[in-house]
Chains A and B, each alone.
Chain A
Amino acid sequence: MATVGRALLILAFALTLYGIAASLYGARTGARQWVDSGRRAMYAIAGVLTIAFAILEVAFLRSDFSYALVASHSSTTTPTFYKATAVWSSQEGSLLLWVWLLSLWSSLVLYLTRRSLREIAPIAQAVLLAFCTFFLTLVVFFESPFTALASVPSEGTGLNPLLRHPAMMFHPPALYSGYTLFTVPFAFAVGALVANRVNSEWIQGTRRFALAAWLFLGIGIVLGARWSYTELGWGGYWAWDPVENASLMPWLTGTAFIHSIMIQEKRGMLKVWNASLILATGTLAIMGTFLVRSGILDSIHAFGASTLGGPFLALIVVMIGGSVALVLWRRESLKSEHSIDSLLSREAAFIVQNIVLVGLCFVIFWGTFFPLISEAVTGTKASVGPPWFDRYVTPLAFVLVALIGIGPLISWRRATAANLRRNFTFPLAAAVVCLVALLFVSGTTEQPKALFFIPLVAFVLAGVAQELWRGTSARRAMSKEPPPIAFVSLIRRNRRRYGGYIVHAGFAILLFGVAVSSSFEHNKDVTMKPGDSARINGFDVRYARAWSEPLPEKIVFGSTLDISKEGRHVATLRTSRGFYPSQDPSLGILGRFFMGEAESEVGLRAGFGRDIWAVVNPDLLPLQRIIDEGNRTFRAAMQEALADGRADQRAIDQLFLLRDQAIAGLSNQWVRRPWESDFRLIVSPMATWIWVGAIIVFLGGAIALWPAPATARSRVTATYAAKLARDLARS
């Protein structure tokens, strides 16, 4: 089947070349049948890649080690859930996932726009097919996921222990969906510029895809943060790692784009800005993929040095050069139809918000690429750490949250004093009350970041609540519906607006969680053995007992901690470290079960008030002497069993049994004669609100993304028909 898989990739590659040629020929000659044929080529590519992906997925599920990829990323003992996700744990598999998702999203957008955007869609189609060609080139000529092994091993290496987390099922597909979806508005922006149709038509056609890209990328980022918090064993959710930053940058510019297109739709302004913004976002999405795969920057996530840096760099250069050339070429057509009326207007707030978001992106870009910049300038590679990022990001985040609150409250075009008074009194009062209340809470005055941030969050939440209240009241007055029905109808009938407001509220809550948990976190490293206690932030932590579990895929050394406060039991936490068997024979027959890759399991008691977090880091050095002795004994016994060049199967089976008993005995040492271990303990207030806020953001995003109800749509269509009729009558 590996041959079939390879053949399918070559077929898809050939189809992309045909599709590009057909689309460009159709666009140039105006022959619709060629454009349609190019579009159908994209559908065919999606179908072919679906089959190719399914073949690889089945190979992983069946542990078919004749595939090099399966042998090096899975094993018979890998749980089925992780076998399914192991497909995208490798460079080759993740590239296939990328191009497969790209083909699916591209097919969807081309299907939805098949009867509209007649001049733009053929060019956009060619651009999307060109992206598919690029990624198919990588999986056909550079990193094939279907490489077969001449000699089939009996067992595979297994999935990297750090990737064994439920988020592995959703985090990479969500991120890749975000990246690939951002290529859709990118392609249509290129189409609009080439066809010189730079009004808001292309924006309306692809707005929903930009929103979906923003939503998926956001979900991917948050899932990654959650994964980091519960799996990596360092107690944080964001480390300013280059790969994390790479996903945040397009999300920030994408957020700016989603807001600024409203100004183009309403006022015909910011055309250059919008085109540039989405072209930059598309390029940043590819740059994120480049960062993970090129190995140019040191990151805990990167796939490491590979041969793919060159092709990606070439693509990025083409994207940047092409984007700049297109915007310069169409600069006359991109002139604004209106100018800003007042600095006290929603347009001005959106523009400032856009500048802040792009500024944030620039700061992150500079800090991420600083090792390369410094090497180019000074000849020495230097890097900046989290404090440098925090220095710039924190004040910009303050401004951003303030603008999140101001945006929905201020009027379009020009805000009057009456408008400001009417809309801002309640939210400002809420912020002031919150600030005064905080001054009375002990400890807050020493944390200025939290002291100013929390009232800003109150301002945003009060503003959103006020808007929802007023909207619901107006709806009730009109329809006489009961309050809950009126509230739901209000959101249902204006999903984009109220979905956006819910996103604002969720984002403010998320940042509240970040501000409070980072300002008031307590962490402590302690060394304990069973029976010992430690104290952190008023909590007593007692090491209750040690336990071990020799499981088929790993050997687990765990600790149970009892948490209490003022004598009252609060929680029992179980934290552990699992050791996965290594395939390195030099570690010895027993040693390879204890010296392989390790993975921490965090003990976590999450709550709306605070999270209590613990991780154990057991040192296996006390077992080393017994392991070394075991290695020598088993080696000698094995040599005896294989004496005279023929294997004594009974003796070998007996040795396997003894080896398993030795492993169980060794792991039991941790329970019977436990030794001291290092622990990290963290008490993190309000951390749960980060995840609650994120869920609210995604709920709001989904509401904004969901198509308008049929009645509203038909009303829009009727309005448009009436306008068209009036225009026709005039002409």
Chain B
Amino acid sequence: MISLAGRDILHSWGKFVFTGFGLGLLIGVTLTMAGVYRGMIDDAQVLLDNSGADLWVVQQDTQGPYAESSSIYDDIWRRVASYPGVAQAASVTYFTMQVRHGTRDVRALVTGIVTSELDAPGWPRFLIAGRQITKDHYEAVADVASGLQLGCVIQIRRNRYTVVGLTRRMVSSGGDPMIFIPLKDAQEAQFLKDNDAIIEQRHRTEASPVYNRPGVPGLLNAVISTQSTNPTVNAVLLRIKPGFNSHAITEQIQRWNRLQVFDRAGMEAILTGKLIATSAKQIGMFLVILAIVSAAIVAFIMYTLTLGKIREIAVLKLIGTRNRRIASMILQQAIGLGLIGFAVGKISSTLWAPIFPKYILLTPMDALYGLIAVMMICALASVLAIRAALRVDPAEAIGG
């Protein structure tokens, strides 16, 4: 028994392989798009993982600190740390900004972490080079995705920071690399106005007869100094002692303080369900359309490949080949095309994924689903071609 499909492919293998290659690139794009979607979700997850927190304490009635802005006083941590079951509590600030390094600037999530305690919540959970921050000021740990190296000096607002440590996969939910700096510096950087604005504000206060009263020396200075302080942070991260129930602690803190508390599941729901929901849906929609387009193209290719062989199929029919053999030839070719396409797609997506600026997560499960989908699409697409082949009149072999 000879393999009709094999024979036919050997007869025009160049055409077959190139078609498979083109299809493969299309499948590669689809797989990459799935990777973009997964990467986006993963970015949100690692942001939560990397904070090393079990509970997030934020401003009342906000969904901070990632999805909404939240502002609480920086001594709140002491109050919540005293609840039974709380192992560690640490203030943290987050703000996204352009960090200047030499002539270029890097978009980064600048995170203020407490320096008083080693491995406190909020600290980078692992380093790939350098060391953690030891000084209270002017040191930074940066993610390697920012392109910064050990010893680089970066400028955040008016201060310069030396990069002393590097991390990997520490990103914001938007995929921006994180840069960790001491909390005191971060508070200043987050709330400090530019110098012109400060001077203007000072002049405004000086011009006000309410604050600059004759005969009350010192009032003006007192007012100005209260205007330039900022004892606030964005959130307090809590770690819970083993064996304690996070719900009970959440309830206790929320009940007696004017604060909002989220656990890991709640935070994840906010991040994936709200913060990145629209962009994730956008990518997901695009993925669906790409899959449909790929399926249509496979069907179209199979159909035209079969139509190109009408005469040969007619001859086969004329010499008495059974319909089943002709159908299986077309099906085998479709599956073969799908396999080449999938292999090319998988390899190409793996090759170009690291070049992308944002994280692309190619999971083995996605690849498996992709393979199954490609096979099913190919099989379905070949049905059209088989129908066309079976309707061929054997007479076309001689007449036509």
Are A and B co-members of a single complex? no
Where the two chains meet, the residues of B that have a C-beta atom closer than 8 Å to any C-beta of A are none
Where the two chains meet, the residues of A that have a C-beta atom closer than 8 Å to any C-beta of B are none
